[in-house]
Amino acid sequence: MRAGGQRTLVTGGAGFLGSHLCDALIRRGDDVLCVDNFHTGTRDNIASLLGHPRFALLQHDVTSPLDVEVDRIFNLACPASPVHYQRDPVRTMRTCVLGAMNLLALAERRRARILQASTSEVYGDPEVHPQPESYAGRVNPIGPRSCYNEGKRCAETLFFDYRRQHGLDIKVVRIFNTYGPRMVVDDGRVIGNFINQALRGEDVTVYGDGSQTRSFCYVDDLIDGLLAAMESPAGFAGPVNLGNPDELSMRELAERVLRLSGSRSRMVHRPLPPDDPKVRRPDIALAQRTLGWEPRVSLDDGLGETIAYFRALLNA
């Protein structure tokens, strides 16, 4: 499979983020092995890469061991939306923990550099705002979101223990809300929900009073951040926040989606789900300083691309 570039493994490579990462790696000249069990990923996301001489697809679940020749490993394997990760919480925890263990063992055997795609959910419902990497978080260990929150926290622990115990070359990034083309229509993430409801002329559902905030990073910016983190100096392991520090309320987001989509839908309010964070905004000073990275795509431009993607799906 080697053609001159790095041999790079992407787990969860047929998912939303993974497929965009595979695209970027192929563009830069890597040999890419995409591993996915198609629990939430889809072949449609990687259709343009199938048959490419530097791209290979392996259907495999990371909860089982894997042994392949690689130089770089991006671990993106895990459902990332509440709808999907709460559907089978035990499976989600197994993916986070056993998946991390199996891929760390592979990285140790091959002396490969490995990156863990962690999440802003490790901060829980934060008491510190914005959230810096030094903040340990406030997470409910027995709530409905815990399979994902605590699973990712455990994966981070494993990564740093492998670094301390085995000298493994690791990178850990904490991804804040990312959006863009190839999002799953029914995954429950707020931008996808708002856009699809608006395009269908349905009521746009805002949970709580809409004052809770999020910060949204366009997928192209996030992929640039992942690549920068993977190629950062060997002494830098992270964790490092990757996200857009521009914060807005859910009410403001709904209004913006309605305006950009030209929809006449109305906003309706529903009760706030349990353990839903009230605020979320990354402190990205470390990423700016260490990786030379910051997001560049404006929310209006990113939403425009995402609305166009979902509109094409609905028309099809």
Q: Please check whether residue 226 lies inside any domain of the structure.
A: yes
> How far apart (Å, rounded) are the C-alpha atoms in residues 173 and 238?
7
pLDDT in tens, 34-89: 999 998 899 999 999 999 999 999 999 999 999 999 999 999 999 876 777 788 99
Residue 93 has pLDDT above 70, yes or no: yes
Q: Please check whether residue 276 lies inside any domain of the structure.
A: no
Q: Please check whether residue 308 lies inside any domain of the structure.
A: no
According to the model, what pLDDT value does residue 301 have?
A: 98
pLDDT in tens, 155-207: 999 999 999 999 999 999 999 999 999 998 877 789 999 999 999 999 999 99
According to the model, what pLDDT value does residue 265 have?
A: 94
According to the model, what pLDDT value does residue 80 have?
A: 77
What integer is the mean pLDDT of 118-143? 94
Quick one: DSSP state of residue 272? P
Residues with catalytic roles? 148
Element (H, E) at 21: helix 16-28
Closest by CA position to 181, among listed 219, 227, 226? 219
The total number of structural domains that make up the chain: 1
Q: Which structural domain range is residue 34 located in?
A: 7-182+216-245+281-296
Q: Please check whether residue 111 lies inside any domain of the structure.
A: yes
Q: Please check whether residue 210 lies inside any domain of the structure.
A: no
Closest by CA position to 284, among listed 120, 92, 54? 120
Quick one: DSSP state of residue 122? G
Q: Please check whether residue 166 lies inside any domain of the structure.
A: yes
pLDDT in tens, 156-166: 999 999 999 99
Q: What is the CATH number of the domain that holds 106?
A: 3.40.50.720
Where residue 223 falls among pLDDT bands split at 50, 70, 90? very high
According to the model, what pLDDT value does residue 3 have?
A: 37
How high is the mean pLDDT of the chain? 94
pTM value?
Answer: 0.94
Q: Please check whether residue 177 lies inside any domain of the structure.
A: yes
CB 87 within 8 A of CB 62: no
**CA angle, corner 73, sides to 79 and 89, nearest 5?**
20
According to the model, what pLDDT value does residue 25 have?
A: 98
Q: Please check whether residue 163 lies inside any domain of the structure.
A: yes
